[in-house]
Amino acid sequence: MPAFRAASALTLLTAVSVPASAHAGGRAIPYTLLHAHSSLTYTFTQAGAANHGRFNTFAVRFDPAAGRLAVVVDMRSFDTGDSQRNRILGGKDFFDVAQYPQARFTARRLIRTAHGYRAVGALTLRGITRTVVIPFTWRTADIDGREVGLLTGRTTIRRLAFGIGQGQWHSTEWVGNAVTLRYALELLPARGR
């Protein structure tokens, strides 16, 4: 179960960051994350009950003019709210943070939908790279006299697709495979930082 929590959190962070930068309403300026006003949370099922967590350290850089989006997550910054569980999740059966200290997401393309956008890109987690699709909404607003970009959404990631859960933790009998990621990001135009 610990592994599942950390996996969700990490995935959430990467996923969220990707879309936020992706489509800046046509504005050809780079955006970066305002970390203090952003959140990345995850939910997974263990023994039939919902469990929640968050990821604490990540960076996002989006350049609409160049069509580039880069997200880097510090795998050591996950938090399950339990120090013993955190030690287990950081070990070789789960994140193996000694060997894989970072996770990365790079968007390959953005697709406009009836409800917002989808970011299609490569997510690398625990040394495994998969194509993922991240749905999100994007808008700009004036908050306290400055322009900000607001990216929100949620998606589901399968932990086993990234090797999260080795040995006895590979089973989904007690810990589900699906992790729901929720992201609420605030980004600033690079010129305003």
Counting the structural domains of the chain, the total is 1
Degrees to nearest 5, angle at CA 55 with 37 and 4: 145
CB-CB neighbours of 140 under 10 Å: 16
Give residue 55's pLDDT. Answer: 87
CA distances (Å), 91 to each of 8, 98, 99, 165, in order? 16, 8, 10, 10
pLDDT digit of tens for each residue in the chain (193 aa)? 444 343 433 333 333 333 333 344 444 578 889 989 998 888 888 788 888 788 898 887 776 556 567 778 888 889 988 787 788 778 898 889 899 999 898 888 888 889 888 888 999 999 999 999 888 888 888 988 988 888 888 989 899 999 998 888 899 988 789 988 888 889 898 864 4
Q: Which of 40, 43, 37 is nearest to 55 (CA)?
A: 40
How many angstroms from the chain centroid is the CA of residue 125?
11
CATH of the domain at 15: 2.40.128.110
Give residue 9's pLDDT. Answer: 39
The strand pair at 31-33 and 175-189 is best described as: antiparallel
Give residue 20's domain range. Answer: 2-192
H or E element, residue 12:
helix 2-22
